Amino acid sequence: MLAYVQSCLRDATFTDRDDDVAREACMADNTMLAMMSLISNDGRLFDVIRRITGCAPIGYFTGRVYALHADAGHYDRWHSDSSDDRRIGMSINLSEREFQGGVFQIRRAAAEAAHWSIANTGPGDAILFRISDDLRHRVTAVVGPAPRVAYAGWFQGGMDLLTFLKKSADRTENTNDSMQYTDPAATT
């Protein structure tokens, strides 16, 4: 499956996204992203994640594919994902070549330095991390020619996948195709 995903990435369209937290190349919606979303929203996976992490019940997963390139000024600042009933973060390495830098780090909100770091350079390997008001995380700058490519997102509570999709569809119908993503869970 990883080889299929990586082959799809070669033909995928990526667009730079820049906000106050990160600048990254985000993959446009496509069949491969829909497949990843479907797989990530399996109730059996939710059960495994809950057993591993001890988190509260999970309703759905939402994620994106992004790339960090050294020569494109991409960055990821310290931040918390503690919103929209996010419980656990996940990042799966989809890179075809081993990248340099791009280290995932996590720290307590009040701390200056990272308490934990992992390079996650194994293609297909995933990391899970707890989301909390008390925690901050980031990905360090990528150096060298190989980009860091990942499928990343959040296991969230508050509603199930079907409700999330209906709210997403309603939101899309009621907007003028705004390019900025807003999680529909934030409107509940």
The residues spanned by each domain of the chain are: 2-166
User: pLDDT value at position 74?
Assistant: 94
Predicted local distance difference test score (pLDDT) of residue 159: 87
Tell me what pLDDT residue 54 has: 97
Q: What is the pLDDT of residues 47-84, one digit of tens each?
A: 999 999 999 999 999 999 999 999 999 999 999 999 99
- Dihedral sign for Cα atoms in the order 36, 42, 44, 48: positive
User: 2-166 sits in which CATH class?
Assistant: mainly beta
In the chain, DSSP assigns E strands to 14-18, 22-27, 60-68, 75-76, 86-93, 100-101, 104-108, 116-118, 126-130, 135-139, 142-143, 148-156
Q: Which residue ranges of the chain lie beneath pLDDT 50? A: 176, 178-179, 181, 187-188
The pLDDT value given to residue 178: 47
Looking at residue 165, its pLDDT comes to 85
Q: Alpha-carbon dihedral of residues 99, 154, 178, 158, nearest 10 degrees?
A: 180
Residue 183, pLDDT score: 53
**Which own/partner contact pairs does 43-52 have at CB distance under 8 Å and 24+ positions apart?**
46/155, 49/88, 49/90, 49/128, 49/155, 52/128
Specify the pLDDT at position 33. Answer: 96
| Entry pTM | 0.88
Instruction: Estimate to the nearest angstrom the gap between the alpha carbon of 16 and the chain centroid.
Output: 15
Q: What is the pLDDT of residue 186?
A: 53
